[in-house]
Amino acid sequence: MTDGLPLPPEHPRSLVYFGSPAAAVPPLQALVEAGFEIPLVVSMPDRRRGRRTAPVPTAVKQAAIELGIPVSEEVKDSLSVRADCGVVVAYGRLIERSVLAQLPMINLHFSLLPRWRGAAPVERAILAGDTETGVCVMALEPELDTGPIYRSREIKISDDVTAQDLMEELAELGAEELVAAITEGLDQPLPQTGTATVAAKIHRSDLELDWKLSAVELDRIVRVGGAWTTNSSSLLKIHETRVVDGSGEVGVLVHDLVGTGKGLLQLLIVQAEGKPRMEAQSWINGARLVAKSRLGT
């Protein structure tokens, strides 16, 4: 590792676990089931899911509580317990250099590094039309996702997989690779090779459907989750679509088909503002749309 930071011991047995979202739960559970001691879990603070709701714990914090593992929101608390190594899985922020200098750490990342370093590797892989992705177990460095790799494993990305389903698959795969890496020994990691790309966080603006894009590109946005457009200035969320051969006027809805920059996008599951999810045809029938309604207006 850089800056003289110590490598993890060859066979660590006591681990501090850093993680927050649901994707980081299977690796935590796998480490416990494999017999590793987890004296502490560090997770992000509780957050409100809505304006009127009480703060709720992260998925990892809830899992740790159920497993009887103490939980902290402070990274520096990892130095207060006896541990051989830290394990970081989608924790949500960079670990301070001062902590890394005292507690060696490894990281499970959901991409084939150095492609898609950063916060949203699964979503960015789908948006880019990548045909493969995977997981990497690497040494943690102060810089973002730059460490040498102990183990990696590749899988294909199907044309219809959603980001949620792909993340769940990678979480299970990553759990296996993480346990194997620690069990077999953390020795002689290989440096990352290839062109590095950054997986920037997904913002709401990334999920707005620009009907000038091709149907294939729009379907990828829908598969990431949270896609939206407007209908007569009202919000319309798009949850499921299908790419269809053909052509039509860009943004114009005919039956359940929308014209795009290339091809047609069939709406399957949508959600009008203030309404539950429903089949697109049911929404169309109930909304009493005029002929050739235009979306995105």
- Can you give the pLDDT at residue 96? 93
Residue where the block lists tokens 């899911």 = 49
For a pLDDT cut of 90, what percent of the chain falls above it? 87
Q: What is the pLDDT of residues 129-150, one digit of tens each?
A: 999 999 999 999 999 999 999 9
pTM for the whole thing? 0.93
Q: Residue 291: pLDDT band by 50, 70, 90 thresholds?
A: confident
* Higher pLDDT among residues 293 and 292, named by residue: 293
Identify the band that residue 115 occupies on the pLDDT scale cut at 50, 70 and 90: very high
- Name the DSSP class of 258: E
Query: How high is the pLDDT of residue 215?
Result: 98
Binned at pLDDT 50, 70 and 90, residue 4 comes out as: very low
Mean pLDDT of the 58-76 span: 98
The pLDDT of residue 51 is above 80: no
Q: What is the model's pLDDT at position 7? A: 57
Structure tokens at 95: 């670990």
Share of the chain above pLDDT 70, in %: 96
CATH number of 204-294: 3.10.25.10
Count how many Cα atoms sit within 13 Å of the Cα of residue 165 in the half-sphere of its side chain. Answer: 9
Query: Any residues with CB less than 8 A from the CB of 268 and at least 6 apart, and which?
Result: 239, 240, 241, 242, 256, 279, 280
**Mean of the per-residue pLDDT values for the chain?**
94
Is the predicted pLDDT of residue 107 greater than 60, yes or no? Answer: yes
For the cut 50, the answer to whether the pLDDT of residue 2 exceeds it is no
Residue range 167-196: mean pLDDT, rounded: 95
Q: Select the more confidently predicted residue: 5 or 261.
A: 261
The residues, ordered by sequence, that sit 6+ positions from 204 with a Cβ below 8 Å of its Cβ are 226, 228
In this prediction, residue 27 carries a pLDDT of: 98
Cis peptide before 114 (omega within 30 of 0): yes
Report the CATH architecture of 2-199. Answer: 3-Layer(aba) Sandwich (3.40)
Confidence of residue 10 (pLDDT cuts 50, 70, 90): low
Rg (CA), the chain: 22
Task: Look at residue 8 in the predicted model and tell me its pLDDT.
Answer: 59
Domain boundaries, the chain: 2-199, 204-294
2-199 against 204-294: fold identical: no
- For residue 48, the model assigns a pLDDT of 81
pLDDT of residue 6: 54
Lowest mean pLDDT among 54-58, 234-238, 241-245: 54-58
Flag whether pLDDT at 66 surpasses 80: yes
Nearest to 259 by CA among 292, 287, 290: 292
